[in-house]
Amino acid sequence: MSITPEQVTELEKKANDIRIDIVKSLAKAGTGHTAGPLDMADVFTTLYFYSMRHNPKKPDWEGRDRLVLSNGHICPVLYVTMAHAGYFAASQLDTLRVFGSSLQGHPHREYLPGIETSSGPLGSGLSQAVGMALADRIDNGKTSGKFFYCLMGDGETNEGQIWEAAMMAGKEQLGNLICVVDRNNIQIDGFTEDIMPLEPYADKWEAFGFHVISIDGHNIEEIADAIDQGKAVFEKPTMIIARTISSKGVPAWERDFHWHGKPPKDDELQVALDALKK
């Protein structure tokens, strides 16, 4: 059954609340990445509150889907979404990047229940997700019902390891693997097409044996429908290219690569909150 208009409206409001908490936690930390977390809020909201099978009260439940965050620096959106979903108290978001906190600058699986892998080195997440999806199929055939989600950044796909993993996923026809790439066209030092052009991007993934879907990464209905479509493709891994606007929700920051890796200061925080609370 397709997502309803009422569910879309509810998820849009949730994504906006998540953006508000992202900028608050980053401002409190005084360090961290802003652009990616803001532009992926719609995708994470859809995953955790509509598409993904999980249980915040039982984060180690064997029947859960797995989410691998490859571009670990956008973890503020993961942490805030998990807090909203009930994995931990929202007050804990004030400890982002504090030494000894569960909410490190990159996710650490031993620090926070519900985190499946530790990430930091870009390019490694797809290999991890492919290994997990393949192991599940070896253990359970095609009957476990689990899906393995890998979230990636577009600049990250400059890494050669990504394409080695893609080649394996295509060869093994991993229909239980659903990938989402944040196609915001920026990376830490500029625009992707200036640094290392990625287009024709969809053609590349198709050539590696993926079922490819290009969507508006801020359209909840398109996100939900693409994930549902990926679940219905049995003989290929799925790549969802989510075309996003970096720092989505704060017009003063949108499409500016300088926000890739800096947090807002107090005056900038107020600009963001004013925009998001509209």
Phi, psi of 200 (to 5 degrees): -80, 110
Q: What residue spans define the domains of the chain?
A: 5-276
Mean pLDDT of 70-91: 98
Task: Please state the rounded mean pLDDT for residues 146-166.
Answer: 97
Report how far residue 176's alpha carbon sits from residue 233's, in angstroms, rounded to the nearest whole number.
Answer: 8
Q: Which residues contact 115 (CB under 8 A, 6 or more apart)?
A: 78, 107, 108, 109
Q: Is residue 190 over pLDDT 70?
A: yes
10 pLDDT more than 80? yes
Report the percentage of the chain scoring pLDDT > 90: 97
- Name the fold adopted by 5-276: Rossmann fold (3.40.50)
Mean pLDDT along residues 181-185: 98
Q: What is the pLDDT of residues 213-262, one digit of tens each?
A: 999 999 999 999 999 999 999 999 999 999 999 999 999 999 999 999 99
Using the predicted structure, report yes or no on whether residue 1 has a pLDDT greater than 80: no
As a whole number, the mean pLDDT across the chain is 97
